Structure 1
Amino acid sequence: MTDRLLHFIDNALAEQPGARTAPVFDPATGVSSKRVLLADAETVRRAVAAASAAFPGWRDMSIARRQAILFRFRELLESRKDELAEIITSEHGKVLSDAAGEIARGQEVLEFALGFADILKGDYSVNASTGVDVFSFRQPLGVTAIISPFNFPAMVPMWFFPVALAAGNTVVLKPSEKDPSAALWLAALLAEAGLPSGVFNVVHGDKVAVDALLEDPEVASVSFVGSTPIARYIYETAARHGKRVQALGGAKNHMLVLPDADLDLVADAAVNAGFGSAGERCMAISVVVAVEPVADALIERVTARMADLRIGDGRRGCDMGPLVTREHRDKVASYIDLAAQDGATVVVDGRGIEVDGAEGGFWLGPTLIDRVPTTSRVYTEEIFGPVLSIVRVQSYEEGLSLINSGAFGNGTAIFTNDGGAARRFQYEVEVGMIGVNVPIPVPVAYHSFGGWKASLFGDAKAYGRAGFQFFTREKAVTSRWLDPSHGGVDLGFPRNS
């Protein structure tokens, strides 16, 4: 019996008669026991209409009541997060500890958003002109759409919807059709926490659903995380329809290793950041830029650590799980052949490894490639899998130039014991998120997430104060209450006095 994953509209599961469907796989077994509905434009319209109808009541609800509902959601999530981690692992494939870490990072944003009463306070100037006061305040946008990727089915939606809801908006979430169950679980938990009907809705789907959200006149803003070509399409299409947009794109993240770095620390960081979540992270380190003469010694340390990794079913205590689909596994594996064709040296080949899991799983082991030409697609393209490249350079300046010449500017790191070099790097590198001896520099919730160049399109970064600015609009009010001494006609231009 194949389960049908329905939409969630008006605080209830919603059918779609005659809907197209897509299979949802367990990546560790290669077996599909679920099919998810793919929304048509009419179903998307139903969800948006529900969110639009719920908006005035949610917007006008007192701060205290909105806060109480979100606090209740936080407590429910904390008590049941292990259940959510199991759902994520069963559909994405990442190991349970990684799924738990994803949830924890999403909770950070939720907990930050709970302070919205202070964050959204306005400003007030008394007697800006004689008898005239000026003040400002922020109001929600309305219906917000969130289009999230497969690699973080809980965390990425939670980068956006806690902030959007706290600010008084209503939400339509379209999760990835590859692992949609986490979104349904979160929607049900929000309803249990007391969120009013229609405030948070989930529609599943593919490009048909995405386009319907981008074009719907009642959708005020769109938040997206995914590959750069799709991010550009989301940004251009939504902006053309008059919407506010934040679209986070792809990455090719470099780790610059200087000769004075602690190579054991670097090797640990490279393995953790390159192969965690099977490399399916937009903040994964995919290129180690080694300033000679450290490359050979570093490769020796990295390969030793790779040999100890246990690959298999994420529910069995393994270090790394499968990739999300067979097609994606095959695409990532094709870069290994390409590297050899382009003259690189495949030091560790992740194909054909022994795994602790079912034979039909979507397996590809950690792969290390040395001397990757910077003209190769292995270097220039986002692989989004457990493939770590080594590029050798002769100086800090050459490494910096290499990073800055890339199309992406999402994340980067430098490993060094030289404070001056680190300070210079963080100022000179053209990247939005930088780690100093930190391989995955995802900002904490009270800062904001987002890159530069082809890694970010739109009006704002995600979460933090930038998130609240994105999900609200400011009003400025100039006010004068007249008393009997005022009056008379004056055609001159108004002046402060």
Structure 2
Amino acid sequence: VEFACGIPNLLKTDFTDNIGGGIDNWNLRQPLGVVAGITPFNFPVMVPMWMFPVALACGNTFVLKPSERDPSPSLLIADLLKQAGLPDGVFNVVQGDKVAVDALLAHPDVQALSFVGSTPIAEYIYTEGTKHGKRVQALGGAKNHLVVMPDADLDQAVDALVGAAYGSAGERCMAISVAVAVGDVADRLVPRLAERAATLKIRNGMEDDAEMGPLVTAAHKAKVEGYIAKGVAEGAKLVTDGRGHKVDGHENGFFVGGTLFDNVKPDMTIYKEEIFGPVLSVVRVHDFAEAVDLINRHEFGNGVSCYTSDGGIARAFARQIQVGMVGINVPIPVPMAWHSFGGWKRSLFGDHHAYGEEGVRFYTRYKSVMQRWPDSIAKGAEFTMPVAK
């Protein structure tokens, strides 16, 4: 919101005086009109805030279609905006499932759509939206890696991995789901991760000391446990098994404990696919070059991190890695509001990242104006009363 409040400065463009024959050339950005945002269940306030503040500040009206799994926060946002004085019809909420989504994709008044969710749905939104002539930014899935170099501060790396892999029960697109252990660091890393994963405080998420809560639905719990079984079947070493975790007083809750695999290979399902749960896979590689190659070959390119004390390695990593958001000794490199959020490869469909200056470009059209004024307009003008003309 603070970033969007600076929109007068962000909308400033260029002016070239007298390019020839009294002609000036200047540019401006104009709003698209009606734009829409389709958002996921996991951050029902934060993700819409990536979209509508910039969209509204640029002069558009906004339609929010939240996840049907948690519709209430969107209504709270709408109520707060109304209390703040936003006119009716400027910010709108449409509840529903795929029927509502398809209606937005096809409606001729909707000029652009933003989406955050899984890659299959992101690809569908992008394909259908562009087919109907709309501008689309569709942020999809991820398989975020964290590289641990032999010279890394292991205390920091372990803390980072535990928080990034198991925070929010792994149900976030910036979760770290693969630890890439370089050289002999794996033998020191895995036992410490196993100890931390086994002692996570898994509770009702409303309790003050909870470190991890339940998954979103029973169906998703079963899906995550299915991935764990698949990892075992394909030969990965299950170090810590989170299946069957029970929480006192919530025995029927959708809980999966922190799960850790070792000796995971690139051809295994748990490495290739986004699990969206508290499952961390350790992949062992020989050197830095192998780590970079491993990550660059993955179909997703959302976020990545490298823990090292070597500035040369850090510099090379930031430049060689084919991923949209990079952290150096930072586990979840989510950009600040004045930068922009978005991945590469099959983690993003469309040409624009979310929020920041990229968001301003997405929610506006660029126009060039060339103008010349006739000289006669000022000739014979009189500016003394009472004959000013």
What TM-score does the superposition give when structure 1 sets the normalisation length?
Answer: 0.74
Q: Cα distance, 1:459 vs. partner?
A: 2.5
Q: Percent identity?
A: 60
Q: Cα distance, 1:245 vs. partner?
A: 0.6
Q: Cα distance, 1:315 vs. partner?
A: 1.0
In structure 2, distance between residues paired with 1:118 and 1:463: 15
Q: Match for 2:336: what amino acid?
A: V
In structure 1, distance between residues paired with 2:30 and 2:36: 17
Q: Could you say which residue in structure 1 is the equivalent of 2:223?
A: 331
Alignment of 1:41-190 (within 5 A): 110-190=1-81
The answer to which of 321-330 and 300-309 deviates more is 300-309
Alignment of 1:276-355 (within 5 A): 276-317=167-208, 318-355=210-247
Structure 2 SS opposite 1:115: helix
Q: Could you say which residue in structure 1 is the equivalent of 2:295?
A: 403
* Cα deviation code 1:276-301 (max 9, x no counterpart): 00000101000001012011210111
Structure 2 unmatched runs, 5+: 378-389
Q: Could you say which residue in structure 2 is the equivalent of 1:360?
A: 252
Q: Match for 1:270: what amino acid?
A: L
Q: Match for 1:202: what amino acid?
A: V
In structure 1, distance between residues paired with 2:274 and 2:376: 70
In structure 1, distance between residues paired with 2:63 and 2:248: 38
Q: Match for 1:387: what amino acid?
A: V
Contact 1:312–1:357, Cα closer than 8 Å, also in 2: no
Taking a change above 3 Å as real, the CA distance of residues 180 and 213 of structure 1, as seen in their structure-2 partners, is same
Q: Match for 2:299: what amino acid?
A: A
Q: Match for 1:232: what amino acid?
A: E
Structure 2 SS opposite 1:362: coil
In structure 1, distance between residues paired with 2:360 and 2:41: 24
Contact 1:431–1:452, Cα closer than 8 Å, also in 2: yes
Structure 1 unmatched runs, 5+: 1-109, 486-497
Q: Cα distance, 1:484 vs. partner?
A: 4.5
Which one of the candidate residues 429, 432, 438 is aligned to 2:330? 438
Contact 1:285–1:439, Cα closer than 8 Å, also in 2: yes
The answer to which of 430-439 and 125-134 deviates more is 125-134
Is 1:208 the equivalent of 2:99?
yes
Q: Match for 1:230: what amino acid?
A: I
User: Larger helix proportion, structure 1 or 2?
Assistant: 1
Contact 2:15–2:26, Cα closer than 8 Å, also in 1: yes
Q: Cα distance, 1:336 vs. partner?
A: 1.1
In structure 1, distance between residues paired with 2:122 and 2:14: 35
In structure 1, distance between residues paired with 2:246 and 2:311: 42
Q: Match for 2:50: what amino acid?
A: W
Q: Cα distance, 1:237 vs. partner?
A: 0.5
Taking a change above 3 Å as real, the CA distance of residues 208 and 308 of structure 1, as seen in their structure-2 partners, is same
User: Cα RMSD between the aligned structures?
Assistant: 1.1
Which one of the candidate residues 58, 72, 85 is aligned to 1:194? 85
Contact 1:342–1:373, Cα closer than 8 Å, also in 2: no
Q: Cα distance, 1:122 vs. partner?
A: 2.8
In structure 1, distance between residues paired with 2:81 and 2:257: 37
Alignment of 1:18-57 (within 5 A): none
Taking a change above 3 Å as real, the CA distance of residues 184 and 376 of structure 1, as seen in their structure-2 partners, is same
Which one of the candidate residues 105, 116, 121 is aligned to 1:230? 121
* Cα deviation code 1:315-366 (max 9, x no counterpart): 1121110001110111011111111111111111111234255122111111
Structure 1 SS opposite 2:222: helix
In structure 2, distance between residues paired with 1:278 and 1:390: 18
In structure 1, distance between residues paired with 2:201 and 2:193: 15
Is 1:381 the equivalent of 2:270?
no
Q: Could you say which residue in structure 2 is the equivalent of 1:476?
A: 368
Name the count of aligned residue pairs. 376
In structure 2, distance between residues paired with 1:357 and 1:261: 41
In structure 2, distance between residues paired with 1:269 and 1:354: 26
Q: Could you say which residue in structure 1 is the equivalent of 2:142?
A: 251
Contact 1:411–1:440, Cα closer than 8 Å, also in 2: yes
Is 1:455 the equivalent of 2:341?
no
Contact 1:313–1:357, Cα closer than 8 Å, also in 2: no
